[in-house]
Amino acid sequence: MNILITGGSGLVGKGLNEVFMNSENNCIFLSSKDCNLIDYKETFQLFEKIKPDYVIHCAANVGGLFKNMNNKVQMFEDNMLMTMNVFKCCHYFKVKKVINLLSTCIFPDKVSYPINENDLHHGPPHFSNDAYAYAKRNGEILAQAYNNQYNMNIINIIPTNIYGKHDNFSLKDGHVIPALIHKCYLAKKEKKPFVICGSGTPLRQFIYNIDLANCIKHILFHYDQKESIICSPNDEVSIGEIGKKIAQLFNYEEHIVFDTSFSDGQFKKTASNKKLLSIYPDIQFTSLDIGLKNSVQWFIENYNQVRK
């Protein structure tokens, strides 16, 4: 059985690589160096060569708050084209099942909490990431269209903020946890304040990449419905608390400064994992303290090679 994983060199792809390490299936981990999924011809040629039975579509143009705010055209166009090309090829080559990754930032800005899977189209997303969010929402609409018109089996997984080893630790474009890890590392090295952009009050849910990979694997083999699923632990933590935990791991917690001249973005987007737990009741989530410790240790040990 051939399982194609797009975005195979990214954070989720690396998690899947670890989870599928001893699998009897033939897993092909695709990176952007192997194929430009924005180009339909290249995507078609790849599918023609591999002929996958299953596809896990993780590839995306992603980044943190400020990348989403400053690159809206690229975030919309790149993500739409990748999803359209992958789905079109999955249909043409009769792929049996497709897992498509979305994000909780696609949910409406003004909505009752906790968010569940049925709330997706009940209002516009937060303006700070609207282009990326609408591209991903359109991917969910396209998935349902293929399911209804062609009886395909595309399942949308909606994870909360993902973190872990092999993340993108860019100070400019990285998500909050990897960017803060890198920033704290440099602050201590240069004996400067550890500056956290914003007030630190926004709340987020974080899922370790290995935990998400286990969810994806379970859903791929044990979930036959076509409804979207939110993947997240219950715990919600502030950005400021995340910063303090990271600073403690570097023994640098006395040097934190909050720069409130920066935007906080969306204050909260609390998501319900009720459906996930109903189909995967045995899932064990890695505690945030252990996940952060593992991530910081891996970052320090691999500093010269990490994406940054």
Catalytic (active-site) positions: 132
Q: Alpha-carbon distance 158 to 151, whole Å?
A: 22
CB under 8 A, 24+ apart: contacts of 287-292:
288/206, 288/235, 288/237, 288/245, 289/245, 291/163, 291/164, 291/206, 291/208, 292/163, 292/177, 292/242, 292/245, 292/246, 292/249
Q: Alpha-carbon distance 25 to 219, whole Å?
A: 16
In a 13 Å sphere around the CA of 280, the CA atoms on its Cβ side amount to 25
Peptide bond into 114 cis (omega under 30): yes
Cα–Cα–Cα angle for 231, 271, 207, rounded to 5 degrees: 40
For residue 297 the two structure tokens come to: 């240790």
Those residues with Cβ within 8 angstroms of residue 89's Cβ, 6 or more apart along the chain or in another chain:
43, 44, 46, 47, 95
Cβ 225 vs Cβ 201: under 8 Å? no
Backbone dihedral angles phi then psi of residue 161, each to the nearest 5 degrees: -60, 125
